[in-house]
Every structure is written in structure tokens, then in C-alpha cells.
């Protein structure tokens, strides 16, 4: 049982390049999330998927797209990377119930945009 | 006023000390509360989940929620160097999928 896995662990891009961050969970969770974490800013929600087939914007969605490929997988795409997108990206998953949303996080992807 | 306020520290204590970490919040709709531990260059790891006001204990960790004061705390007894990490509070409400996180407190426990 690996929990939440993310690939790649590290990535360096040039401005304008595109890339997709991959996330998978094996906990049979319905909901999945993408966050970015920057010094002094804390964790900020980019996009989330309440269930397979649905996606919604979070706090900072500009410059990103997502795909909920199936129940297990949720990818984050940067179409034209910018230096402001240099960050650590975390994927998370949860079984969302009324009164509970315990999220489990992956190990993160460190992205640098030059 | 920010929704969640958390003292960023850094907090440095000797091994064996009792540590108190705190968050205050302004949104009275928050119903459930969590504490995460994040080691350097790792993902956040769930430590404690609480729903109601009062205390919840798990080993050396105690989570306390005071909804009337909009204040939550995490106590660590007999702190160990392995407790050195950033601690994040998080809270949510009802059917809302979004959690609100504090910015984290960096704790160092010195041997």
C-alpha cells in the first residue's frame, strides 16, 4: 500500500516549456487535490476533484490544468511554465464525508522554472 | 483578518520539554480540525484529527480544540529530536472540499 505517489520528484524547466505532474493513490479515495507550497505562503489549493469525472478550481488555478484520468489518478499540467510557478507541488487524496476531510499527501514534486 | 493564524516560530526546545503549538481562526463555520507534521523536503503527514471541542490524546500528542475561543492547540510531551519538523494546522467545514491551512510552525528539539 503505497498511499499517494507523485512523479517526477524533481524537475527543471525553461520558461515556456510544458510538463505534466502525475499523481496516483491506492487508498480508493474519491477526492483528490493539487497544492503548491511556497515559503511564507503555506499550502495553497490549485485544483481539486471531488470525484471521478469532476474538477474544480481552488485558490490559485491560473496557469494550470488538471485531468482526473480515473479514480486513482489526477494529473496537473503546466502548459507554458513561468518562473512564478517555481514551487513544491503536493498531491493529496481523501474520502470526503460530512464533517470530515482528512487528506493524505504525497511526497511532492520540486519544480524550478528558469 | 486572516482565516487562520499560526505563529511561524521558529521554536527551539530541549529534548524532553513539553511543546505547545497553537492556531487561532476567525471562521466559526469550521467544524473539524487537523494537525499535520512535515519533515524537511517531505509531504505533510497527518498527526491528529478532531471534530468536537475538548482534548484528544494519541501517545505523546494531545490535540485540544476550544470552539468558543476559536483556538486549537497541539501539545507534545517528552519531545524528541525526531519531533523536529514543521507543524501545520488545518481546518474545514461541512460539505466543503477545501481545507484552510495555517502557514506552519517550525519546531526544533535539541538533544
The pLDDT tens digits for A22-42 are: 999 999 999 999 999 998 888
Burial per residue of A2-38, b for 16 or more beta-carbon CB atoms within 10 angstroms, e otherwise:
eebebeeeebebeeeeebebbbbbeeebebbbbbbbe
Q: pLDDT at residue B1 above 70?
A: no
Please tell me which of the candidates B32, B41, B97 has its beta carbon nearest to residue A50. B97
Q: Which residue has the higher pLDDT, A2 or A8?
A: A8
Q: pLDDT at residue B2 above 80?
A: no
Confidence of residue A103 (pLDDT cuts 50, 70, 90): very high
Contact B32, A103 (CB under 8 A): no
HSE-up of residue A33 (Cα within 13 Å, Cβ side): 23
What's the residue count for chain A? 114
Residue B95: predicted pLDDT: 76
* Complete DSSP assignment for A62-100: TTEEEEE-SSSBEEEEESS--GGG-EEEEEEEE--BTTB
Contact B95 A98 (CB under 8 A): yes
Query: For the residues B4-14, what does the mean pLDDT come to?
Result: 92
Confidence of residue B101 (pLDDT cuts 50, 70, 90): very high
- Which residues in chain A touch residue B98, judged by CB atoms under 8 angstroms apart? 45, 48, 58-59
* DSSP state for residue B53 in the 8-state scheme: S
Q: Looking at CA atoms only, how far is residue A100 from chain B in angstroms?
A: 7
Q: pLDDT at residue A59 above 80?
A: yes
Report the alpha-carbon distance of residue B22 to residue B12 in Å, rounded. Answer: 15
- Residue B38 phi/psi, 5-degree rounding, is -130, 110
Amino acid at each position: 500500500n503505497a498511499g499517494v505517489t507523485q512523479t517526477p520528484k524533481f524537475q527543471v524547466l525553461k520558461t515556456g516549456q510544458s510538463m505534466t505532474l502525475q499523481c496516483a493513490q491506492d487508498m480508493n479515495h474519491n477526492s483528490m487535490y493539487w497544492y503548491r507550497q511556497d515559503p511564507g505562503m503555506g499550502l495553497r489549493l490549485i485544483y481539486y476533484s471531488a470525484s471521478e469525472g469532476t474538477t474544480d478550481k481552488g485558490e490559485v488555478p491560473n496557469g494550470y490544468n488538471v485531468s482526473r484520468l480515473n479514480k486513482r489518478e489526477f494529473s496537473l499540467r503546466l502548459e507554458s511554465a513561468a518562473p512564478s510557478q517555481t514551487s513544491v507541488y503536493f498531491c493529496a487524496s481523501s474520502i470526503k464525508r460530512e464533517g470530515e476531510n482528512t487528506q493524505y499527501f504525497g511526497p511532492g514534486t520540486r519544480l524550478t522554472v528558469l | 483578518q486572516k482565516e487562520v493564524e499560526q505563529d511561524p516560530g521558529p521554536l527551539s526546545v530541549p529534548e524532553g520539554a513539553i511543546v505547545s503549538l497553537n492556531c487561532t481562526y476567525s471562521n466559526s463555520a469550521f467544524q473539524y480540525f487537523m494537525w499535520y507534521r512535515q519533515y524537511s523536503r517531505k509531504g505533510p503527514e497527518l498527526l491528529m484529527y478532531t471534530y468536537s471541542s475538548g482534548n484528544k490524546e494519541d501517545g505523546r500528542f494531545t490535540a485540544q480544540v476550544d470552539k468558543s475561543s476559536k483556538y486549537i492547540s497541539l501539545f507534545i510531551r517528552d519531545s524528541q529530536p525526531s519531533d523536529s519538523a514543521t507543524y501545520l494546522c488545518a481546518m474545514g467545514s461541512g460539505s466543503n472540499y477545501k481545507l484552510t491551512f495555517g502557514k506552519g510552525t517550525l519546531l526544533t528539539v535539541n538533544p
